[in-house]
């Protein structure tokens, strides 16, 4: 499955993406705010591609001109998210290489994943979260039209062995349709 937007291609990860994944995932400004450690070497990035970026709805974010992986967007389906136990709900996750921040790439990619969730996959609700202090991710969720749902003061962050405050927001199919003027 490959999805396209005005400026981006969203496609599944391949082992050939390990070098570019490492280039952006080694940045200490990217992973830790999202709950994972910076990658230490290309081998670790390759392992992540083989064992983590395997979800049916996990996509590499690529600029159309280059098809090079510069970030990730994913709909985490039931069984791969702790935000829901329903088959018709999922969680949106994303990150982007720092050189590409501020161009609206993730809102553009995530908008297409919302269309995929509601139109192609029959989802009724998409959940999304961010940890306290991650104003950039909060802003992405606001721009996409997510609605604040709740805050949890003691969210375990297993990969970093930390406890953080997490804010959760959601979008229903009805909200999504009305945001499109339908
Ligand atoms: C959050 C993230 C995915 C946003 O992606 P993006 O494509 O840059 O999104 P946008 O271009 O819409 O920018 C979102 C906000 O980030 C801030 N921002 C953008 N570029 C920035 C930069 N270079 N430096 C600091 N802040 C910046 C702005 O507040 C912007 O909001 P605005 O459009 O109202 O000005 C990206 O910053 C990222 O990967 N961060 C680290 C990982 C992460 O937080 N993942 C989400 C975990 S919940």
CATH of residue 37: 3.40.630.30
Dist. CA 19–CA 68, nearest whole Å: 10
Q: Tokens 């992986």 map to which residue?
A: 69
**Beta-sheet pairing, 3-4 with 8-11:** antiparallel
Q: What residues in the chain have per-residue pLDDT under 50?
A: none
Q: Which of 102, 113, 167 to mutate to test the pocket of ligand 1 (most atoms within 8 A of CB)?
A: 102
Let me know: does 17 contact 24? Beta carbons within 8 Å: no
> Whose structure tokens read 């290309």?
42
pLDDT digits (tens, 9 = 90+) for 116-132: 999 999 999 999 999 99
Predicted confidence at residue 8, as pLDDT, reads: 98
Q: Is the CB of 32 under 6 A from ligand 1?
A: no
Could you tell me the pTM of the whole model?
Answer: 0.97
pLDDT digits (tens, 9 = 90+) for 45-66: 999 999 999 999 999 999 999 9
Inter-residue contact 80 to 56 (CB < 8 Å): no
Place of tokens 């349709």: 177
Residue 180 is predicted with a pLDDT of 80
Nearest-CA neighbor of 76 among 88, 94, 92? 92
> Token digits for 133?
């202090």
Q: Show the domain range for 39.
A: 3-179
Per the structure, the count of domains in the chain is 1
CA of 136 to the centre of ligand 1 (A): 4
Would you say the CB of residue 96 lies under 6 angstroms from ligand 1? yes
Determine the distance separating the centroid of ligand 1 and the alpha carbon of 7, expressed in angstroms. Answer: 17
Within the chain, how many helices (H) and strands (E) appear?
6, 8
**Is 134 near ligand 1, meaning CB less than 6 Å away?**
yes
Alpha carbons 107 and 81: distance in angstroms, whole number: 21
pLDDT recorded at residue 182: 65
Q: Residue 171 — left, alpha, or beta (φ > 0 → left; ψ -120 to 50 → alpha)? A: beta
Choosing from 60, 100, 136 the residue with most ligand 1 atoms within 8 A of its CB, the one to mutate for a pocket test is 136
Bridge partner residues of 129 (DSSP):
168
């Amino acid at each position: 499955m490959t999805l396209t937007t005005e400026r981006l291609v969203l496609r599944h990860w391949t082992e050939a993406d390990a070098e570019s994944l490492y280039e952006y995932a080694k940045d200490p400004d990217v992973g830790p705010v999202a709950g994972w450690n910076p990658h230490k070497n290309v081998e670790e990035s390759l392992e992540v591609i083989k064992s983590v970026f395997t979800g049916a709805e996990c996509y590499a974010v690529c600029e159309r001109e280059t098809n090079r992986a510069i970030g990730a967007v994913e709909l985490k389906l039931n069984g791969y998210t702790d935000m829901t136990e329903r088959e018709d709900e999922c969680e949106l996750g994303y990150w982007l290489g720092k050189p590409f921040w501020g161009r609206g790439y993730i809102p553009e990619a995530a908008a297409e994943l919302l269309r995929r969730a509601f139109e192609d996959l029959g989802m009724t609700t998409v959940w999304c979260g961010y940890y306290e202090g991650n104003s950039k991710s909060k802003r992405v969720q606001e721009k996409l039209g997510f609605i604040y749902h709740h805050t949890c003061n003691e969210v375990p962050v297993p990969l970093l062995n930390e406890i953080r405050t997490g804010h959760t927001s959601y979008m229903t199919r009805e909200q999504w349709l009305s945001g499109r003027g339908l």
